[in-house]
Amino acid sequence: MSKDLQNESKTEEIDLGQVFNSIGKLFERFFKFIGIIFKGIFSAFIYFLKAVIDHLLIVGIVVGLAFVVGYFLEKQKPTVYEADMLVKPYFDSKYQLVTNVNYFNSLLAESNYEVLAESFDIGEKEAQKLVSFEVESGPETKNELLKQYDLYLKSLDSTRAQNITYNDFVENRDIYSSELFLVRVKSLQKDIFRKLESGFDSTFSNTYSSEKKTIRDKTLEIKKQVYERDLERMDALQEVYLDIVKKESEKGAAYVNVQGLLPLQQEKSKTWEYELFISEMRIRDSIRAIEQIKVEEDSYYDVLSRFPEVGNESSKLTSKYWFIFPVGAFIILCLIFASLKTLRFVKNYGA
């Protein structure tokens, strides 16, 4: 019996040893694979540097010539000015804004300056000075994003909300998720931007936004009428209450019953008066809030930051010829060197 137990323990030790050996070999192969990848990347980098160093004179001459050509072409290129306008759309007019910006760019691509001039109520010659239109999400603080994240979680069921983190929410946002939008215009004329503001009015207005605004206004009007009726009832109730208090003071009654519905005790009169006053103030605050919404969101968008009188010179590095040409020339040379190396390898393969 003891021999059988010893044989079983030895068998288990052999099986565990084989398992650990297999795991060790698996990790060894994995690390070898990682090493091969890094070695390949390092070898490719060394071959690249070797090709550049071997042909350093050619690379220097070509890149230098490309820089000189790009510099002179940059000097001859007309100056491009740009300006930004920060807006806050309402009634989902942001969708029309993005659509119209793409439409304006298509007009520029087709050189349809007549329609573009009509859209912004400017001259056709001024329309020809326009270069491009851009729209992107406006600046947002982390607190604003946290508030939007909290509202988004409340719109979901509890089970699904547990699986969505703040980082997931931020990464999956698109341009339509923002409440603020930055409109950027580029032009060859530096003082044209203020003239374009009135033309952007039409970019926020459409049938859907108009209907949504109408529904909002009607809903607010209904709520206001309900609150006003409540105020009328509150006034009537206060008159009844004051009449009761007056009768109490005249008769010295300790207990009065109004139609069997509103029992009042003399010692509690001040408490009821205060509660009626608080209720009236709440209703009036609700009415003021409705009026404030109608005033603040009476249009389809608000301009938080207008276009400046004069635009700034566009100075993006990626748009400069003296930068684009040398980089492009260097990349082309690298491709040529790689192609020659490949052809030489294929030609000598098996020789």
DSSP state of 214: H
Quick one: 209 exposed, middle or buried, by C-beta within 10 A (0-12, 13-18, 19+)? Answer: buried
Q: What percent of the chain has pLDDT over 90?
A: 0
- pLDDT at 261 (0 to 100): 44
Instruction: Provide Rg for the chain, Cα atoms.
Output: 38
Which range of 188-192, 243-247, 319-323, 341-345 scores highest in mean pLDDT? It is: 188-192
Q: Is the pLDDT of residue 241 over 50?
A: yes
Q: Is the pLDDT of residue 76 over 80?
A: no
Distance between CA atoms of 197 and 199, rounded to whole angstroms?
5
DSSP state of 306: P
From residue 171, alpha-carbon distances to 98, 144, 149, 152 in Å are 20, 15, 12, 14
Strand partners, 84: 184
- pLDDT at 259 (0 to 100): 46
Quick one: 236 exposed, middle or buried, by C-beta within 10 A (0-12, 13-18, 19+)? Answer: exposed
Q: Is the pLDDT of residue 348 over 80?
A: no
Distance between CA atoms of 106 and 185, rounded to whole angstroms?
14
- pLDDT at 68 (0 to 100): 85
**Average per-residue pLDDT for the chain:** 76
- pLDDT at 232 (0 to 100): 78
- pLDDT at 253 (0 to 100): 46
Mean of pLDDT values over 166-170: 75
Task: Yes or no: say if 253 and 285 are a contact pair by the CB < 8 Å rule.
Answer: no
- Give pTM, 2 decimals: 0.60
